[in-house]
Structure 1
Amino acid sequence: MASVVGTCVLLLAIVPVSAASFVKVDCTSENLGQYGQDSVLRCGINPTEEASDAMITYVKWKKTGENKTLVVFGKDHPNEPRFRFSVESLTGTSRDVSLLVSNTQINDGGEYECTVKTDSGSKDTIKTNLSVTAKYSAPVIIAEKDTDTSLICNSEDGYPKGTIQWFDQEGKKHTSISQQEEPKPMDDKRFNVLTSKLTLKNSASSQYTCQVYNANGVKEGETTFNLSPKSYEGVHKMVQYGKVAASNIVAPVVVIGSLIVGLLIVLLWRKRQSGGHTPIDQDEEKANWQGGEAAAGGKTCEHSEETNTLEEERCQAMILLSAAPTN
């Protein structure tokens, strides 16, 4: 019995450590790629001390969930276009097995698997992720057609979906009152147009800035729009008084009121002086009528010797009132 136990112990002593422990693949868990640029998924080999001189015999990269092999080393297999090892000439002694993606597309984003084998019989597979973003174009601001009270900001070709924020010249944020349209993705998943409309009703600023932010909240660009003096004046009046400035209403009312009061005083004074009705001098009366016609823009009342002077004066007063400016 003792000899059997001794034999078992000896066999356990000479059994090699699990092959997988001889090599370990370390990859950056998250890799960032830019649309249209080269992207690298970083991976390297770390052999154990027992296998420090291990030679790489096989490396394969594939996208998780897809059977298609992207690149392979140690086997006659064509690489997929735009994919290759970042090391120009991978050899058995190489320790960098990173994957390079040329002209990165939005669809290239996702999880990848790297499998490595060595001549020690060890094998290891690890997964890593690639996130692809596309930078938005510099925003463009235009005034809405036929109005100076709305501004529209556009930014194009970004990914993932970003946001637009508005600020006035004092740095006050106006995003909460703006309207952002839902962007539509193109065939390559980038968003065609990111649009936001700002209605100028809560600020009297003459300058507005549109800023575009990516999905991570990082500002990618901004554009400033200066309202014309005429536009700014119109917006300023709307903010202060609604659609019509108070001075445009008060001034005509004061003028018309003054004319009415003055004419009434003149009529009462003449009536008191004459004790009722006394015709005025013909030359003076003609001059008054000519002056009234000029002030009334050519409008006249019927005039004859039989016409009551008080009635004529009242008629003339009404013509003057109708000719008074209304705004």
Structure 2
Amino acid sequence: MRVLLTGSSGWLGRTLAPLLVEHGHRITGLDVVPGAHTDVIGTVADRALIERVMGEHGIEAVIHGGALHKPDIVRYPRQAFVDVNVTGTLNLIEAAVAAGNDRFLFTSTTSLMVRADVRAGASVKGAWWMDEDFAPVEPRNIYGITKLAAEQAVKLVHREHGINVAILRTGRFFPEDDDTHATPSGENLKANELLNRRLTVEDAAGAHLAALEAAPQIGCDTFILSAPPPFAREDAEELARDARAVIARQYPDAAALYATKGWVLPDIIDRVYDPSRAERRFGWRAKSDFGSVLAALRDGTDLPFAHDPDYTSPIIAQERDACMC
């Protein structure tokens, strides 16, 4: 299948592109900055460019992973988020319909579900259990607002034209340090997040591949992507009060293994992302989870996730280098 992949120079794109090729797909990468898997330099906000790329490359399906992200909020005005995240998405799916494509994948984010009360901590009932039916959805910043608007736009085009749509709300998979959490930080924080809100970039790429191939059976649906949590909804109250006790029941040696690294387990967990719909509907389940972290600690092998505190997105690196000229 000839696939247009936007965001091909980014963290997800550079992992997803070779995976798609490995499975027999022909990729045209589009990004605003150069990359090993980027064939076209340009923005999705350029409607004429999108239409030209669709025709010249015979595109049969679109995976739209490109976007302005949360860290870009301090660097770009709100209008830029509307232009790229909303108008750009609409440009792509309308061009896909015009070209006769039967499937469109949209990389969204669990961030749009983190409204003010979720960000403030657990509810009176305990940890928030966040699946695709979690509501109301009230994004807290322009990034979340525009991603939610883009989701609604692709659903509208699906209803009008029947193109199959998979909306993939990914949990965290970035390699850099968190910009808000100082303690714990680094690898310790990423390991903890595999309990409830993170996945590896390899698993995120695998989910996109699986959704692409299953799109005709999906029709139109939204999916949370995260490592499978080792908890049940019935654990929500205790997770918000004593997460370590819940973890100890599932992984009796977790505390001891963490101690060998000088790490700490979370005292409380205030939210849990539930990715089970993706497994039910198109057979995807993350290969790496919190148990994979503990296995690596036991065996002295590499951790299952990437950690790079010096990672800089390609667009930020390009702008930095330009300023140094």
TM-score (norm 1): 0.22
Higher helix share: 2
Instruction: Specify which structure has the bigger relative contact order, considering alpha-carbon pairs within 8 angstroms and separated by 6 or more residues.
Output: 2
Higher strand share: 1
TM-score (norm 2): 0.23
